[in-house]
Homo-oligomer: A and B are copies of this chain.
Amino acid sequence: MDEKLNEKELAVELLETKQFSKLKLLLAEMNSADIAEFLSELSYETLLLAFRILPKDQAADIFVEMDSDGQEMLIRSFSDNELKAVMDDLFVDDAVDILEEMPANVVKRILRFTDPEMRRWINEILKYPEDSAGSIMTVEYVRLKKNMTVDDAIKHIRNTGPDKETIYTCYVTDLNNKLIGMVSAKDLLLSNPGDIIEDIMETNVIYFHTLEDKENVANAFDKYGFMAIPVVDDETRLLGIVTFDDAIEVLQDEATEDIEKMAAIIPSEKTYLKTGVFETWKQRIPWLLLLMVSAAFTGKIISTFEGALASCVILTAFIPMLMDTAGNSGGQTSVTIIRSLSLGDIEMKDIFRIMWKEFRVALVCGVTLGIVNFAKMMIFDSSAIASDGQSAVLVSLVVSVTLVVTIVFAKIVASILPIGAKKIGFDPAVMASPFITTIVDALALLVYFNIAKAFLGI
């Protein structure tokens, strides 16, 4: 998509050289998301200037695509009329997303310039918990009645369509606004004008409750390939719909969050380059601290076996390899389990199947590594071990057996912890490698030193 890149650079150049009429023409050709990107690269001074050159009808679309810093800055410098114009063109769910990022005083100003109807909806949606289906739903959807004809329905869409986020899935409700069916625009176009909605509607509609976790709603899009999913209250009254583009965003964000948590980072909504040094520090330091302190236990274990170590210092040389391998083995398992959990591929009830599988995998992996390590040590390390006054065979055996045992421990622990965490309503993702590593390190050392004592009698 290089031509898009050039478009952006050209736009910047036209702005700097004040060729506004040319810029206007170019912007009219560009896609809102690309214009938003172009704007996000501008200094705050030129930003407002550029925004005023934009085709009015696109202004809101572009505004939605911008990052919250840019949005806040614009809102602060908008004239009342400009603000009102943008707000009038926003969809409720987008307006909510924007509001959630803004400081109180900006929120106040925005709400002052949104018409009462929209303000009511915004407040409705703001009531729902942050990660709920309700918080990402839009209320601008097409609602049909079961006794309409296809022709009525199409007329209805023609009249109300322009303000709807999607017209492709229409929902049929009864007099109490209960959700009773669904009709796609495709069905409408392919049926006869005289057909009655009730006869062509799909009655087995998959819907979610407003308080459902938005991640589950997003996963349903992945599973069913729907374009939109309705959101209802306890009486299955239709309150709004979630559209596929919002679902994609949720899925991407959730994946990123999981990845960050797995890497012992506290997730942030901002992109990497937008996050300041101090913010990044705040995301990373808590886990580093916790893990460093807990690593003290591994230290304690070593110092308790100091005597043994002193009498056989060569053992120390294999501590890093043992710890890393145990950590990596555990990490592999925990990460697989965590991802499978959030994709819904595995559930609590599978825990024993999982443990049994991980046990066998661990055994095969452990034995493989054990053999390779034994050979490697006999070939490369025997002289060093001998010079330390120990039997190469015994020491190699100690290290190899430790490998097998710790890998089995590591993979079992790593499969139980995430599932256990979910069970007690804890986030599985934070149970990933770094956390596992610390636990597994301690296990590895305990196993190592005890086996060493038994075999070498130190």
**Which residues on A are within 8 Å of B, measured CB to CB?**
1, 4, 29-31, 33, 154, 157-158, 161-162, 167-168, 185-186, 189-190, 204, 206, 208, 216, 220-225, 227, 244-245, 247-249, 251-252, 255-256, 258-260, 262-265, 271-273, 277-278, 280-281, 284-285, 287-289, 291-293, 295-296, 298-300, 302-303, 306, 309-310, 313-314, 316-321, 323-325, 327-329, 331-332, 334-337, 339-340, 343, 345-346, 350, 353-354, 357, 360-361, 364-365, 368-369, 372-373, 376, 380-381, 384, 433-434, 437-438, 441, 445
Given A1-B216, A259-B262, the answer on whether A288 and B433 have CB atoms closer than 8 Å is no
Given A185-B168, A313-B306, A364-B278, the answer on whether A340 and B206 have CB atoms closer than 8 Å is no
Show 5 residue pairs from A and B whose CB-CB distance is below 8 angstroms, ordered by the A residue: A244-B244, A244-B245, A263-B335, A300-B317, A320-B445
Given A271-B345, A291-B328, A320-B298, the answer on whether A186 and B206 have CB atoms closer than 8 Å is no
Assembled-state Cα–Cα distance A300/B262 (Å):
30
Report whether A325 and B265 are in contact in the complex, using a CB–CB cutoff of 8 Å. Answer: no
Assembled-state Cα–Cα distance A227/B30 (Å):
18
For A208, the chain B residues whose CB sits under 8 A away are 1
Given A30-B204, A350-B273, A368-B289, the answer on whether A158 and B190 have CB atoms closer than 8 Å is yes
New A-B contacts (12) at CB < 8 Å, excluding given A288-B328, A292-B324: A30-B204, A154-B189, A161-B186, A167-B189, A255-B259, A284-B361, A293-B372, A298-B321, A299-B320, A302-B319, A323-B324, A324-B327
Report whether B227 and A227 are in contact in the complex, using a CB–CB cutoff of 8 Å. Answer: yes
Q: Which residue of B lies closest to A337 (CB)?
A: B272
Given A167-B189, A190-B161, A249-B222, the answer on whether A265 and B332 have CB atoms closer than 8 Å is yes
Assembled-state Cα–Cα distance A119/B281 (Å):
56
Given A161-B186, A316-B316, A328-B264, the answer on whether A372 and B292 have CB atoms closer than 8 Å is yes
Q: Could you tell me the distance in whole angstroms from the C-beta of A218 to the nearest C-beta in chain B? A: 9
Given A256-B339, A320-B295, the answer on whether A309 and B303 have CB atoms closer than 8 Å is no
Q: Could you tell me the distance in whole angstroms from the C-beta of A25 to the nearest C-beta in chain B? A: 12
For A220, the chain B residues whose CB sits under 8 A away are 1
Q: Could you tell me the distance in whole angstroms from the C-beta of A146 to the nearest C-beta in chain B? A: 18
Given A31-B204, A224-B31, A337-B272, the answer on whether A295 and B280 have CB atoms closer than 8 Å is no
